[in-house]
Amino acid sequence: MSYTKEEIHQIALNQREFFLTNKTLDVKFRIEQLKKLKKAIIDYQDALTEALHEDLGRSEAEAYFCDIGDTVMEINEYIKGVKKWNKPEHHFSGLAAFPSMTTKVYKMPYGVTLIISPFNFPVLLSLGVLAASIAGGNTAMLKMSSKSKKTTEVLKELIDKTFPKEYVIAIDGGHDVADFCLEERVDKIFYTGSPKVAKHVMELASRNLTPVALELGGETGNWCIVRKDANLKDAARKIAFFKICNSGQVCININQVAVAKEIAPIFIEELKNAIIKQVGENAHLNDEYPKLITHAAYLKIEEEAKKYQDRIVFGGKGDENKDKYDPTIIYPVDINEEIVNHEIFGPLLPIVEYNDDEIDQLLDVIARREHGLALYIFTKNKKWAKKVMRSQQYGGGCINEVCLHLMVKGVPFNGTGHSGMGAYHGIWGFREFTHPSTVLFGKTHFNLSLREHPYTPQKKKLFSKFLK
């Protein structure tokens, strides 16, 4: 359906009224809702799998691994942990507050939350974030992508049958509906998508001083570095898997690979072999290989590939009718070329050569560009790799692995700068959707009058001693 501005306004008002009943403050209530959400996903698993195949060409295994199963695991973590996380923190007030020695920090929900989810992982990045909002004790307006149409349709039905609209509602529609939502006086906004749209989100949020969490891909994409001492077969296998996954439409995917010049030809052969082994030489003919979300997305990838057609060493083919474009290796690419200065969000993989003994210069170039959401390093030199991970600016990453940091429980998933702000997953999601409120418990007896007028010389002397 298409929502009007007035209808979105009424939805926000209804959610505000529901929040003010204080029902969501009860942790038992939150756990019950999380369990309902989990059951609904399991009940709708087949429908979601079919929808993900229709929208993104996902195989059943990839649909479960990347979206459905991940979301259930995320919800399980909230069910298990929210009772503990929500307990007030107890603090000693300090002698300055004598005799009021007790202070507590309450974890308070924001209120009405707005979650704007993308098309690429339409289950995980909508319901996974929703679970964090529910765990925090909020209501939620869930604005879903208009591009992943079938999945949005199924998710809307799932939400409508599971929750009352004044508590959680799934909203479909285009950019106009998203703007209607953003113009409302909500209490927290969580947006996943591109840096360009994120600026628009922040601009509208600023009108109401609404706090915002952003998970973005990064303006200049995520780097992967393969040093000359790396296990090339292992690196190639993992990089191939990741570029194949969702046809490269992953916010933490590798945008470009910097490969030591000394081993570049060998690495590229290993990468070709790994792609062929996983999806064949003509991936667009493989039913398991995902498609691009829209025909416009396909044409965009095809057009960019044509600019570098003289340097395509693998791939470069596709099926326009199915919107499938092969994993495509482009080599060699200069570090300053256009393709490595923006987020590709597709199956093209530029290879940038560097001299291994000039690795510091490469890192300096990366550091001066916009921060990526992820950084991946392949090397046997763990000491060096750890040093890089402690000094570069990025959201998260892996050493001798790809993407699996996203799967680790109890750790944050976040970005920095043009790759986002805020964090979520598990306790970090609970923290993102709550704000800490400090409350001191005052005593009515034995209160000292030192803080009160008049400030006599004797009091000033006592102040001086106390400060020292």
- Enzyme catalytic residues: 215, 251
How many angstroms separate the Cα of 330 from the Cα of each of 83, 302, 316? Answer: 50, 13, 9
- 121 Cβ neighbours under 8 A, 6+ residues apart: 66, 67, 246, 250
Could you say which DSSP state residue 108 is in?
E
Q: Provide the strand spans (E) within 75-129.
A: 89-92, 102-109, 112-116
Q: Is 337 left (phi over 0), alpha (psi -120 to 50) or beta?
A: beta
69-85 vs 27-43: helix crossing angle, rounded to 10: 170
Could you say which DSSP state residue 115 is in?
E
Question: Tokens representing 230?
Answer: 């790396």
**One-character DSSP codes across 378-442:** E-S-HHHHHHHHHHS-EEEEEESS-SGGGG-TTS-EE--GGGEE-EESTHHHHHHTEEEEEEEE-
Contact 109, 140 (CB under 8 A): no
The span from the CA of 286 to the CA of 321, in Å, is 14
Strand partners, 256: 223
Q: Is 307 left (phi over 0), alpha (psi -120 to 50) or beta?
A: alpha
Question: Tokens representing 225?
Answer: 């570095």
Query: Residues of 226-248 as b/e, b for ≥16 C-beta within 10 angstroms?
Result: bbbebebeebbbbbbebbbbbbb
Q: Which of 342, 349, 377 is nearest to 244 (CA)?
A: 349
Contact 326, 317 (CB under 8 A): yes
* Amino acid at residue number 326: D
The span from the CA of 407 to the CA of 405, in Å, is 5
Question: Tokens representing 420?
Answer: 């986002």
The span from the CA of 15 to the CA of 109, in Å, is 13
Strand partners, 108: 435
* Amino acid at residue number 273: N
Determine the 3-state secondary structure of 81 from DSSP.
helix
